[in-house]
Structure 1
């Protein structure tokens, strides 16, 4: 790929971009952190507009960006703060529907190009679902380019009226800091002991405890796993509004499931697991699926959203919403070490074909270059 310069051929100053985040999606925040690091290394000036908690979690300033606190709300004060931050920007790149809508409001009346990345679908029911569709239409018809992390999201953007929608290369960001690795076998045994999974299979799911994540299906499946000997332990890393409801079911039904809350050691937990579980039916580019394949952990997932496109034949895929099929796939896989090893090998090959962080930055920078080559001289 031809390298793209962050400098104008007419002597203009280096490119200045504003990245806009809502702060609610860990995957998009990690992507922006990775993107920021790559852009800064190529001479691009980056401002990240995101809630302070996102800055604390992802350290955008540590990647060389300026951070501006902008709350997730689309109230006038938040929009005004974003509009101020976007002054003199060559372009604005928003991530996710709500951040994109906030950017549309902030850029009203300006000719600053807006790029939007859809990392996932926004979920809602009833009247709110209609409201989200209106937001989508407003955003995609305003954006110069919409980048979708899956073909389905690109198609959705086109159907909604996008002028230019493209498939985005989005890498799974690597660890931010190199640390001396602990002996893998020792670490695995330590993690399993801490979780109470010594001598029994350890199954792991990751994600916010929201309605659309499929945890109801997971608990339905876990009922049948009580009959196994030894009984597998299911651990869920994540926090969210369904916690009390899920915990009540776990206790009332005696399910072998532990809710771990928000964890900073997901990679270590996953490496200690026998299987990774993805019960959600609509993930676009699941971070868990990517991490599982990278870590050579066999994955059982429902086959909706962008998961089949992402994993190919490197996972056990079952129909969305079918808890019996999900439970049966887990039981089969636990009893078939050869199939587990086959999935580990296929997963490693599949992951090797995903875009790298450098390729992701190069694609985004090429889009930026397209949109700024014709900038008028001031």
Structure 2
């Protein structure tokens, strides 16, 4: 008897969502599921080669990188996704784009498998575009058999839009492994000799991340803390990166944009404080990784961040460079307080479900939905 087939659907991503889907795909394969992933070429880079290994465990996953790249490609992508949905036992879409594409592709099927949609981010913006996106949210909320959100405000939003029993979901973060000495040497070469504390941010280059606020905070901090350096690990919008670099140069802010990194554990091992200036986040994996590594965290009080950090980090209002700079400075000035927060954060993360536990939880949810649909 062949294994039940789970189809994971994920749009373009390279950060936490892509890592979560890669880990889920690999873990489900180990639990005996026949796993397929419909995604973009960008996200496929986190999943291994098509029909090849995905994730750290190397389980076999069928990766189909045929995400629509334009209106001319939309019809063929929807048809391919529709065929994959028809051949699946259960379908799990990750993110708003994936959720919308999946419900549209499944709409004309006479019989379809149970459909799960997980929202990892809020829909931001104003005006006509925001209203159109709200209609897309509503369509997902009403068509999904199970809608889950990575933060409580996303769950509340789904309930408001008519979702049946929306649920909170946990995205795990494994404890980072300390980097090698060669990674440390490379970091010294990029940032120069260490003369003061290092503040680290791991983030996509995207408007939502409010890296403009971060640059301004770094400039303010440098006036009070001798030799401070601020490193940003992550890639993304190149035009925005150019604007941020010009802003940094005008303010003489000690910020280095490192680009995409594969040695984040080594960066965390060197960091004195981890900081995040985002306009909105669900349960950011980068923050969980910093907590697990014992790095004190300063982050904006948005989305699911307060629930994640609780009393183990410093929370500041979004959009305020002075507030961000002041909170970072307080932790740099008070080593005892920084150690206390870091220790509490490490203990809190240790109590969260592991990646294996999260995967087993999803497998159990899928089985329950399949039983209900029979």
- TM-score w.r.t. the length of structure 2 is 0.90
CA contact (8 A) 1:303 1:319 kept: yes
- Distance apart, 1:199 and its partner CA: 1.8
Counting only pairs closer than 5 Å after superposition, residues 82-161 of structure 1 correspond to structure 2 as 82-110=81-109, 111-161=112-162
- Distance apart, 1:240 and its partner CA: 2.7
| CA distance, structure 1, for counterparts of residue 290 and residue 29 of structure 2 | 29
Counting only pairs closer than 5 Å after superposition, residues 42-53 of structure 1 correspond to structure 2 as 42-53=31-42
| CA distance, structure 1, for counterparts of residue 256 and residue 82 of structure 2 | 44
Counting only pairs closer than 5 Å after superposition, residues 294-333 of structure 1 correspond to structure 2 as 294-333=292-331
| CA distance, structure 1, for counterparts of residue 165 and residue 371 of structure 2 | 17
Q: Is 1:38 equivalent to 2:27 in the alignment?
A: yes
| CA distance, structure 2, for counterparts of residue 265 and residue 25 of structure 1 | 15
* Bigger mean CA deviation after superposition, 266-275 or 40-49: 266-275
CA contact (8 A) 2:173 2:355 kept: yes
Query: What is the CA RMSD across the aligned residues, in angstroms?
Result: 2.1
Match of 2:46, SS state, is helix
- Distance apart, 1:349 and its partner CA: 0.9
Residues 1:192 and 1:294: Cα distance change in structure 2 (over 3 Å): farther
Residues 1:260 and 1:16: Cα distance change in structure 2 (over 3 Å): same
Match of 1:117, SS state, is strand
Residues 261-285 of structure 1 deviation map (CA, whole Å, 9 limit, x = unaligned): 2222222212211111111131111
Match of 1:373, SS state, is helix
Residues 1:230 and 1:268: Cα distance change in structure 2 (over 3 Å): same
Residues 265-307 of structure 1 deviation map (CA, whole Å, 9 limit, x = unaligned): 2222122111111111311111111010011111111111110
Residues 1:210 and 1:232: Cα distance change in structure 2 (over 3 Å): same
CA contact (8 A) 1:95 1:118 kept: yes
| CA distance, structure 2, for counterparts of residue 154 and residue 251 of structure 1 | 41
CA contact (8 A) 2:14 2:43 kept: no
CA contact (8 A) 1:169 1:359 kept: no
Correspondent of 1:220 among 204, 216, 236: 216
Residues 1:353 and 1:158: Cα distance change in structure 2 (over 3 Å): same
CA contact (8 A) 1:117 1:146 kept: yes
CA contact (8 A) 2:331 2:337 kept: yes
| CA distance, structure 1, for counterparts of residue 262 and residue 304 of structure 2 | 25
> Any unmatched runs of 5+ in structure 1?
1-11
Question: Which residue of 2 is the match for residue 357 of structure 1?
Answer: 355
Residues 1:230 and 1:77: Cα distance change in structure 2 (over 3 Å): same
Residues 1:127 and 1:264: Cα distance change in structure 2 (over 3 Å): farther
Question: Which residue of 1 is the match for residue 289 of structure 2?
Answer: 291
* Bigger mean CA deviation after superposition, 93-102 or 34-43: 34-43
Question: Which residue of 2 is the match for residue 57 of structure 1?
Answer: 46
Q: Is 1:245 equivalent to 2:243 in the alignment?
A: yes
Match of 2:3, SS state, is coil
Question: Which residue of 1 is the match for residue 56 of structure 2?
Answer: none
- Distance apart, 1:204 and its partner CA: 1.0
CA contact (8 A) 2:298 2:314 kept: yes
CA contact (8 A) 1:17 1:91 kept: yes
CA contact (8 A) 1:55 1:67 kept: yes
| CA distance, structure 1, for counterparts of residue 172 and residue 284 of structure 2 | 11
Question: Which residue of 2 is the match for residue 81 of structure 1?
Answer: 80
Question: Which residue of 2 is the match for residue 7 of structure 1?
Answer: none
Q: After the TM superposition, list the runs of 4 or more consecutive aligned residues in structure 1 that deviate by more than 4 angstroms.
A: 186-190
CA contact (8 A) 1:238 1:260 kept: yes
* Bigger mean CA deviation after superposition, 124-133 or 299-308: 124-133
Match of 1:57, SS state, is coil
Question: Which residue of 2 is the match for residue 6 of structure 1?
Answer: none
CA contact (8 A) 2:122 2:154 kept: yes
Residues 1:219 and 1:260: Cα distance change in structure 2 (over 3 Å): same
| CA distance, structure 1, for counterparts of residue 179 and residue 185 of structure 2 | 15
Counting only pairs closer than 5 Å after superposition, residues 16-27 of structure 1 correspond to structure 2 as 16-24=5-13, 26-27=15-16
CA contact (8 A) 2:216 2:321 kept: yes
| CA distance, structure 2, for counterparts of residue 261 and residue 82 of structure 1 | 33
Residues 147-202 of structure 1 deviation map (CA, whole Å, 9 limit, x = unaligned): 11121211111111111311113211567xxx99636xx85466345422512111
Match of 1:68, SS state, is strand
- Distance apart, 1:308 and its partner CA: 0.7
CA contact (8 A) 1:213 1:281 kept: yes
Match of 1:354, SS state, is coil
